[in-house]
Amino acid sequence: MLFRKRHHTKVVEIGNVSVGGTNFISVQSMTNTDTRNTVETLEQINKIHKLGGDIVRVAVPDIQAAESLPEIVDNSPIPVVADIHFDYRLALKAIEAGIAKLRINPGNIGDKKNVEIVANAAIEKNVPIRIGVNAGSLENELAQAVREKRISLGEAMCRSALAQAAILEACDFHDIIISVKASHIPDTFKAYKTLAEACDYPLHIGITEAGSANTGIIKSAVGIGTLLAEGIGDTIRVSLTGPPEEEIVVGRKILQSLDLRPYGPEIISCPTCGRTEVDVLRISEELEEKLKNDKTINKKNCKIAVMGCVVNGPGEAGSADIGFAGGKDCGIIFRNGKKICKVSAGEAVDKLIEEIRALDV
């Protein structure tokens, strides 16, 4: 069996999004605007929402940012998470503002008393908390132990998260989500694997500081994909240096490629070789662009194949819901494994779209 059964977790409600249990794995991102600028922040949140983001996080670095939260929360189409560091009082302001979830970092939120104050306020307003452990901001004692190689980074992150969870549990607070992120995939994997065995809290997974799109997409796909294949993960964030809306596109594709969540049409195409006699790249890109703007087709969960030669082409195209197998400046259109017609390369995209529209899925 390729994939392990999904790890059992409790359900935590983030606004109108249910995280954990058997619910769909949600995709989220974080704005990179100045939260104090509510117009730009909401503009970016709407872009994230339009591309399919389920949850959005905003930084709350100071009191001015906290005071902007009510307007952002009231006008956001998706649940808003407040990202809090250093000052627990900002967490209290965020709770008052009506945010859907808090994110706190055990390494810098302050002593146990501060955490307890935040937990009690969150209980009163029914606001869940994500314990967000990052490799770069561990508590001093754990960071020192890692530097001295007394424990691994993965173990240190897991210890940090569970210790913070214990403080919340002592306050009778249990609406907890946990993340333990590093830029190093093996450390991140070990931490999440240990957590999944130690608790039933929903896990927010990702590879932090993954880099720009060139490297970040690869690291995120490998790291997040490996965890998901192990049955670990209830919500994901792809961390890329760049526009946050790009994270949503990549996150959705990761889930779709693992058959974990349907997101409309999926295009597969061959890498091409010396046998190719049609412009597979042009057909694939033109088809993808046209599908992107077609709301009716975007609701159809189907596989579309664009293949370039007679070796694998007929088999791959025939196994897809709709497929094109190229020959010399032409090709055969398949629907559910049956040959429909022969078309020129120039007609391929329009005919594929016509067949997708007629597909009953």
Give the residue ranges of the chain where pLDDT is below 70.
Answer: 1-3, 107
Same domain, 242 and 285: no
Same domain, 63 and 157: yes
- Reduced to 3 states (helix: H, G, I; strand: E, B; else coil), residue 345 is helix
Look at residues 208, 238, 257 and tell me which one is the last residue of a structural domain: 257
Phi and psi angles of residue 339, each rounded to the nearest 5 degrees, phi first:
-70, 130
* Tokens encoding 186: 């093996």
pTM of the model: 0.90
Burial of 336 (0-12, 13-18, 19+ CB in 10 A): middle
- At 111, which amino acid appears? D
pLDDT of residue 106: 73
Look at residues 194, 223, 257 and tell me which one is the last residue of a structural domain: 257
Domain count, the chain: 2
Q: CA 297, 299, 303 angle in degrees (round to 5)? A: 70
CB 281 within 8 A of CB 272: yes
pLDDT of residue 1: 40
pLDDT of residue 107: 67
Gap between the Cα atoms of 161 and 4, Å rounded: 24
Q: Which of 359, 322, 326 is nearest to 343 (CA)?
A: 326
- What's the CATH number where 328 sits? 3.30.413.10
pLDDT of residue 229: 95
Same domain, 159 and 217: yes
- At 248, which amino acid appears? I
CB 79 within 8 A of CB 15: yes
| Alpha helices per DSSP H over the chain | 38-50, 63-75, 88-97, 112-125, 140-147, 153-170, 185-198, 213-229, 245-257, 280-292, 313-319, 348-358
Domain presence at residue 2: no
pLDDT tens for 85-144 read 889 999 999 999 999 999 998 767 778 889 999 999 999 999 999 999 988 888 889 999
Query: How many CB atoms are closer than 10 A to CB 294?
Result: 15
> What is the domain range of residue 291?
266-358
Domain presence at residue 3: no
Tell me the pairing of strands 176-181 and 12-14: unpaired
